[in-house]
Amino acid sequence: QQQVKQSPQSLIVQKGGIPIINCAYENTAFDYFPWYQQFPGKGPALLIAIRPDVSEKKEGRFTISFNKSAKQFSLHIMDSQPGDSATYFCAASKSGTASKLTFGTGTRLQVTL
């Protein structure tokens, strides 16, 4: 029940395309859903996060869509660029003073010219 399932495992899009990465969770106690971006040899970096009281959040070219009833959330990258090529992880957490993150399995995104 602690798992976060992520798909697809890898994704190739052309520059300007809109890659969409999907995640699903089971634990209804989760109430914080961040997305992390990881470049090779680096640690994950927080990209954008959402709480379940909103259905969508946009920051720059990155948008999270959240469907509480389906227990699913997704990341959309508008006007994707080659510099967006990285591994993207969704994650989930429960409220708490030192809450741990449960990560999805990651999506390797390649944006081609």
Partner 1 sequence: EPEVTQTPSHQVTQMGQEVILRCVPISNHLYFYWYRQILGQKVEFLVSFYNNEISEKSEIFDDQFSVERPDGSNFTLKIRSTKLEDSAMYFCASSPQGILTYGYTFGSGTRLTVV
Residues that bind partner 1 (CB under 8 A): 31-32, 34, 36, 41-46, 49, 51, 89, 93, 95-106
Residue 72 backbone phi and psi in degrees, to 5:
-135, 150
Looking at the Cβ atoms of 41 and 113, the one nearer to partner 1 is 41
Q: How far is the CB of 14 from partner 1 (least distance, A)?
A: 25
Looking at the Cβ atoms of 58 and 100, the one nearer to partner 1 is 100
**Any idea what DSSP says for residue 97?**
T
Looking at the Cβ atoms of 36 and 77, the one nearer to partner 1 is 36
106: amino acid identity, one letter: G
How far is C-alpha 87 from the chain's CA centre?
Answer: 10
Find out whether 110 and 82 touch, Cβ atoms under 8 Å. Answer: no
Q: How far is the CB of 106 from partner 1 (least distance, A)?
A: 6
Report cis status (omega within 30 of 0) of the bond before 8: yes
d(CA 27, CA 100): 14
Q: How far is the CB of 1 from partner 1 (least distance, A)?
A: 15
Q: How far is the CB of 16 from partner 1 (least distance, A)?
A: 29
